[in-house]
Amino acid sequence: MPKVPPVLLDQQLCFSIYSASKKFNHFYQSALAPFGLTYPQYIAMLVLWEDAPLTVHQLGEHLELDSGTLTPLLKRLEKQGWVSRVRSQTDERQVLIHLTEMATAKREEVYARIGQCQNLLGMTDKEIDDTMAELATVKSQLDTVSRQRLITKNIDSHQ
Amino acid sequence: MPKVPPVLLDQQLCFSIYSASKKFNHFYQSALAPFGLTYPQYIAMLVLWEDAPLTVHQLGEHLELDSGTLTPLLKRLEKQGWVSRVRSQTDERQVLIHLTEMATAKREEVYARIGQCQNLLGMTDKEIDDTMAELATVKSQLDTVSRQRLITKNIDSHQ
DNA sequence: TTTCAAAATATTGTATACAATTAAATTGTC
DNA sequence: GACAATTTAATTGTATACAATATTTTGAAA
């Protein structure tokens, strides 16, 4: 006889978010196809358009990605002409990511494209803000739990 | 002079969801470490605990994943003793995924573990329901847009 | 019944993610 | 100034995702 209620996939917030994330990925992949950008490449470009040049580490802080993901991603962006990767003169450990002229030239075009795509979502600014606020709460809780390592230290009584 | 406003990463709903999805992934990866399950493996097990045996195709419908992802994932689950993959007798094209005795035996333990982890989130049922409802709206919109292929057909004027 | 389209799974190739390790450069400390 | 600890990227290995293709089986139509 079950001591705990069943865990139903369709009632899981995690799956709801996981699924939405994949759909957004697909959505932007299609929308950005004319530019040949994947979704992760696109968000990297967003950060760089705001703030280039940035080191790999700085870019990673914005995107919450490490060099294991970023190094190959940036090499692909470089190959396709969006960025250049330049070893810093003042600190040889760092690699500075610069925008190319092409990237600067296409910035407005991509912004316009994304604006149109967002209109297709048919959500008001308030709806978007509210959803993001709730997600911020969830993420904050997840961060807290991870930071406190409650999971691996305190609950592992059955191990 | 910019014709369109800049697209700021931190104001993007897509990034908010992408980031939350990664955090959840990490959260469950830690929580399920004692069982040696990754997050995608875990949600596959959730569906199977509800409904096994299922064909690869049926499982994929619940998870929104295709055989390209599921086949290797299920092989890993099989290797670790959670499932068995059996070619159907009545239709040799299908592979039925059955739970092993170990999987059935560990079901309650995993449910309990996940229940504890969800408590750590500190969200009320209502808060979770509300967030999921908003995400359902977003996903529905994304599906509609994808289905209508508006992106690739109607907006591609600059191509 | 032969044939051909459709269905189910597997495979291949590309692109993330991320843990763990490596390698090089820099900093702090004595 | 030597040198250990730290920082930064890159690399390695494993596990998703998913498009595209291949293979096998089934079902339906001629």
Cα separation values, B48 from B60, B62, B101, B108, B134, Å: 11, 10, 13, 13, 27
Does the pLDDT at position A150 exceed 80?
no
Structure confidence at residue B150 as a pLDDT band (50, 70, 90): very low
The 10 Å CB-count burial string (b at 16+, else e) for A47-56 is bbbeebbbeb
Query: CB of A132 within 8 Å of any CB in chain B?
Result: yes
Residue percentage of chain B with pLDDT more than 70: 92
pLDDT score for B7: 85
Select the more confidently predicted residue: A150 or A147.
A147
SS3 B95: strand
Helices of type H across chain A: 13-31, 39-51, 56-63, 67-79, 101-120, 125-148, 150-153
Token look-up 């760089």 returns A48
The model's pLDDT over B8-64, given as tens digits with 9 standing for 90+, comes to 899 899 999 999 999 999 999 999 999 999 999 999 999 999 998 999 999 999 999
Cβ atoms of A90 and A55 closer than 8 Å: no
Please indicate whether, in this complex, the C-beta atoms of A155 and B117 are within 8 angstroms of each other.
yes
Please indicate whether, in this complex, the C-beta atoms of B141 and A120 are within 8 angstroms of each other.
yes
The helix/strand count (H/E) of chain B reads as 7, 3
Strand C interface, B 47-66, C-beta < 7 A: 55-57, 60, 66
Does the pLDDT at position B155 exceed 70?
no
What one-letter code names the amino acid at B106? K
The beta-carbon neighbor of B155 closest among A9, A116, A146 is: A116
From the candidate CATH numbers 3.20.20.70, 1.10.10.10, 1.20.960.40, 1.10.1060.10, the one assigned to the domain spanning A31-123: 1.10.10.10
Domain extent listing, chain B:
25-122, 123-153
Helices of type H across B80-121: 101-121
SS3 B145: helix
Cα separation values, A38 from A30, A117, B136, Å: 9, 15, 24
Does the pLDDT at position A76 exceed 50?
yes
The 10 Å CB-count burial string (b at 16+, else e) for A131-146 is bbebbeebbebbeebe
Structure confidence at residue A21 as a pLDDT band (50, 70, 90): very high
Structure confidence at residue A64 as a pLDDT band (50, 70, 90): very high
pLDDT score for A1: 60
Query: CB of B105 within 8 Å of any CB in chain A?
Result: no
Structure tokens at A58: 């700085």
Provide the positions of strand C that have an atom within 7 A of a protein CB: 7-13, 15-20, 24-27
**In a mutagenesis test of the B interface, which of A138, A148, A156 is the best target, namely the one with the most B β-carbons within 10 Å?**
A138
The model's pLDDT over A116-142, given as tens digits with 9 standing for 90+, comes to 888 888 888 898 999 999 999 999 989
Q: Round the average pLDDT of chain A to a whole number and report it.
A: 89
Lowest-pLDDT range of A85-89, A134-138, A154-158, B30-34: A154-158
Cβ atoms of A94 and A87 closer than 8 Å: yes
A19 closest CA partner among B78, B100, B20: B20
Cβ atoms of A155 and B113 closer than 8 Å: yes
Comparing alpha-carbon positions, the chain B residue that sits nearest to A43 is B9
Contacts of B119 in chain A (CB under 8 A): none
pLDDT score for A45: 98
Does the pLDDT at position B139 exceed 90?
yes
Please indicate whether, in this complex, the C-beta atoms of A7 and B131 are within 8 angstroms of each other.
no
Task: Give the pairing type, strands B95-99 and A95-99.
Answer: unpaired
Please indicate whether, in this complex, the C-beta atoms of B132 and A156 are within 8 angstroms of each other.
no
Please indicate whether, in this complex, the C-beta atoms of B43 and A15 are within 8 angstroms of each other.
yes
Footprint of strand D on the protein (CB under 7 A): A 18, 22, 25-26, 55-58, 60, 66-68, 70-72, 74, 85, 91, 93-95; B 25, 38-41, 64-69, 72-73, 76, 90-93
Structure confidence at residue A112 as a pLDDT band (50, 70, 90): very high
Query: CB of B86 within 8 Å of any CB in chain A?
Result: no
The beta-carbon neighbor of A20 closest among B39, B139, B145 is: B139
Name, in order, each residue with C-beta under 8 angstroms of A148's C-beta and a sequence gap of 6 or more: none
Q: What CATH code would you report for B25-122? A: 1.10.10.10
pLDDT score for B140: 92
pLDDT score for A7: 85
What distance in Å separates the CA atoms of residue A60 and residue A69, rounded to the nearest whole number?
9
